[in-house]
């Protein structure tokens, strides 16, 4: 497990207290849970990895990524990744202060058309997590980082498969609340990689939890006079989930470690590709092992599997596999094994 163990433990305890089944259902109904945000914010979790002199809590990206693993395990319905690691990084990395409020951001994709004319922002950005409940939307537009006050935007509500807000924002010649040329290392590629890494960590935590609840359930549930976990066909499901949990966790661990060391592009491409596949396999096996119970809203599984489906597509999955394959082809046969062992370090 990456990051700061004590911090992870504290986060685990806190999330265990506040992310109750009732709170999750409420957050989904309302799109937001203010008590949950207040508790998480009180502990300083959203600001981890944002420098203290920019308004954050300090700490490393690996610390924040470790907390995201825990958040994924609990299906925490808050823009934790967005506030610090993504929006906080865009702002602080470009010399701007970071407000101590819920912030959100997303990288532009095909169909989005935000543009910058030197003083104002015009256009549309879709799939913005919790935009309607954040104070500001931060975006990287044409080499400039802008902070847009939510109240000055047109926000159209939409959700992902987990019922979490993924809104569309629009504006027309809007003057940002703050802006600055993107700082050194702040670019679209870095933004997409960072976003992908946040999803890898959330997914690793969620798949570990899927394993945990499936193991529990299959040991409690009795059919034909014994726990269903005793049937070989059910054990095969458990083993397949355990394998994918091991893959996702290892991918998150190594990618976070290399990120902290300064160069992790290949690891993030690989990790996001693998987590997508892990989510597909684990979700299917977990639902099969749970039977009808897993298909209900009263049982915890759907909070995890619906998020996994959403995180799989966010910040891409298939595209990263093509990037990795492109490097493999470009480097050629002799360099393939050294690439597998050395990772990004081999890219130079």
User: Which residues bind to another protein, rule: CB under 8 A?
Assistant: 1-2, 8, 12, 69-70, 73, 205, 208-209, 211-212, 215-216, 219, 229, 232, 235-236, 238-239, 242-243, 245-247, 249-251, 253-254, 257, 267, 269-271, 273-274, 277, 318, 320-326, 328-330, 332-334, 336-337, 339-341, 343
If the CB atoms of residues 62 and 96 are measured against another protein, the closer one turns out to be: 62
Q: Least distance in Å: CB of 207 to another protein?
A: 9
What is the torsion angle, in degrees rounded to the nearest 10, for the CA atoms of residue 41, residue 47, residue 48 and residue 49? 170
Element (DSSP H or E) covering residue 7 = helix 5-18
DSSP assignment of 300-333, as one string?
THHHHHHHHHHHHHTT-SHHHHHHHHHHHHHH-G
Q: Least distance in Å: CB of 206 to another protein?
A: 11
If the CB atoms of residues 134 and 275 are measured against another protein, the closer one turns out to be: 275
Q: Least distance in Å: CB of 180 to another protein?
A: 35
Q: Least distance in Å: CB of 312 to another protein?
A: 14
Q: Are 195 and 128 in contact (CB under 8 A)?
A: no
If the CB atoms of residues 23 and 327 are measured against another protein, the closer one turns out to be: 327
> Would you tell me how many other CB atoms lie within 10 Å of the CB of residue 247?
19
DSSP assignment of 61-104, as one string?
HHHHHHHHHHHHHHT--S-HIIIIIIIIHHHHTTT----SS-EE
Residues facing residue 223 across a β-bridge: 226
If the CB atoms of residues 144 and 242 are measured against another protein, the closer one turns out to be: 242
If the CB atoms of residues 1 and 144 are measured against another protein, the closer one turns out to be: 1
Backbone angles phi, psi at 57, to 5 degrees: -105, 0
Backbone angles phi, psi at 222, to 5 degrees: -110, 135
Q: Least distance in Å: CB of 100 to another protein?
A: 27
If the CB atoms of residues 71 and 146 are measured against another protein, the closer one turns out to be: 71
Q: Least distance in Å: CB of 108 to another protein?
A: 22
């Amino acid at each position: 497990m990456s990051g700061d163990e004590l911090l992870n433990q504290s986060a685990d305890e806190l999330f265990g207290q506040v992310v109750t089944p009732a709170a999750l259902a409420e957050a989904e109904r309302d799109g937001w849970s203010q008590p949950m945000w207040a508790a998480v914010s009180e502990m300083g979790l959203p600001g981890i990895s944002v420098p203290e002199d920019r308004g954050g809590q300090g700490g490393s990206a690996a610390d924040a990524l470790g907390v995201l693993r825990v958040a994924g395990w609990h299906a925490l319905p808050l823009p934790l990744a967005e506030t610090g690691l993504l929006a906080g990084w865009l702002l602080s990395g470009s010399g701007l202060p970071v407000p101590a409020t819920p912030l959100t951001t997303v990288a532009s994709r095909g169909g989005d058309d935000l543009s910058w004319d030197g003083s104002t922002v015009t256009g549309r950005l879709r799939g913005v997590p919790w935009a309607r409940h954040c104070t500001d939307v931060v975006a990287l537009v044409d080499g400039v980082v802008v902070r847009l006050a939510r109240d000055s935007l047109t926000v159209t509500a939409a959700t992902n498969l987990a019922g979490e807000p993924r809104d569309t924002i629009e504006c027309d010649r809007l003057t940002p609340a703050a802006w600055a040329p993107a700082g050194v290392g702040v670019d679209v590629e870095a933004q997409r990689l960072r976003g992908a890494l946040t999803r890898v960590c959330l997914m690793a935590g969620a798949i570990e939890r899927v394993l945990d609840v499936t193991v529990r359930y299959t040991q409690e549930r009795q059919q034909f006079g014994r726990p269903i976990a005793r049937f070989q066909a059910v054990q095969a499901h458990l083993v397949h989930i355990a394998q994918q949990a091991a893959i996702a966790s290892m991918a998150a661990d190594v990618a976070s470690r290399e990120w902290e060391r300064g160069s992790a592009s290949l690891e993030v491409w690989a990790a996001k590709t693998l987590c997508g596949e892990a989510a597909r396999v684990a979700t299917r096996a977990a639902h099969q092992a749970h039977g009808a119970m897993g298909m209900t809203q009263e049982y915890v599984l759907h909070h995890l599997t619906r998020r996994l489906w959403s995180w799989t597509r966010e910040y891409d999955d298939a595209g990263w596999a093509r990037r990795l394959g492109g490097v493999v082809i470009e480097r050629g046969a002799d360099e393939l094994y050294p690439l597998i062992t050395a990772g990004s370090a081999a890219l130079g």
